[in-house]
Amino acid sequence: MPEDNAKKQAADFLKSLRKHLGAKLPKQRVEQWISEKGKAVKEDLFVGELVLKEISEYLKLNLQCAADDVCKAFLAESRNARVKGLASRSPASAKRYLFTKLGVNQKKIVNLWWQKDARKGQTTQSCPDWAFREPCPHKVVFEAKLFRNRGGERARIELVNGIYQCFYYRAHPQTPESKRHPAWNYDYACLFAYDVSQNQDLVNAWAELNQKVKDACWDSANIFVMVLPTAKSES
């Protein structure tokens, strides 16, 4: 399949996933869930209890393969998702890397790198929130964010952080399949960001982002940005 056609199909697949998640996770449902769980609910619980099962359902509906293969195609950091049979393995990297997805704090890195005790964290294993692999035709690694009421400036910072973290995952070199770890050979990365702020600060920040930057996310970096609830222009 020509590369341009494959990339277009991957974009269509992710747009369809965005539409599916938007329909299955309306803001009212998410807000009610947060209210029941408590205001301090964390991002990983949101992903583990609400998001992953809807993604599994999407894969079942859209992959032309058996149920076991759907599970094989879905990797998730959430152990509960693997126990329930939604996902097959963790997407954790086989290798440990020099930097983390949080960016470069030079002073902290210097303090770590020159320590003689190797247990102090000089290198870090990457573990994205979830990923798609074969037999899914599109190999994608995902970073998830849950955004609350922290204002427009914070929303812009969170978007930059999330896109950077996707870029970080895309920068990892390929590694083969092993007994302990799946292959790391993703063609694309996707930022899944859900906005529960009162004023839709994250949705607005994405809508107002310079179009050249938006285009470069996908065209240059193979990063698909999925902000929910979707703005009218992306519905």
User: For residue 216, which amino acid is it?
Assistant: A
Q: Is residue 190 in some structural domain?
A: yes
Q: Is residue 97 in some structural domain?
A: no
With vertex at residue 204, the alpha carbon angle to CA 165 and CA 20, rounded to the nearest 5 degrees, is 70
What is the Cα–Cα distance from 12 to 135, expressed in whole angstroms? 17
Q: Is residue 177 in some structural domain?
A: yes
Question: Residue 147: helix, strand or coil by DSSP?
Answer: strand
Q: Is residue 11 in some structural domain?
A: yes
Residue 154 has which token pair?
């914070």
The pLDDT of residue 56 is: 96
Q: Is residue 115 in some structural domain?
A: no
Is the torsion defined by CA of 155, 51, 84, 39 positive or negative? positive
pLDDT tier, 111 (very low <50, low <70, confident <90, very high otherwise): confident
| Domain total of the chain | 1
Q: Is residue 118 in some structural domain?
A: no
Is the pLDDT reported for residue 201 higher than 90? yes
Q: Is residue 34 in some structural domain?
A: yes
Residue 135 has which token pair?
């037999």
Q: Which domain holds residue 156?
A: 3-92+129-234
Q: Is residue 56 in some structural domain?
A: yes
pLDDT tier, 122 (very low <50, low <70, confident <90, very high otherwise): confident
Please report, rounded to a whole number, the percentage of residues in the chain having pLDDT higher than 90.
79
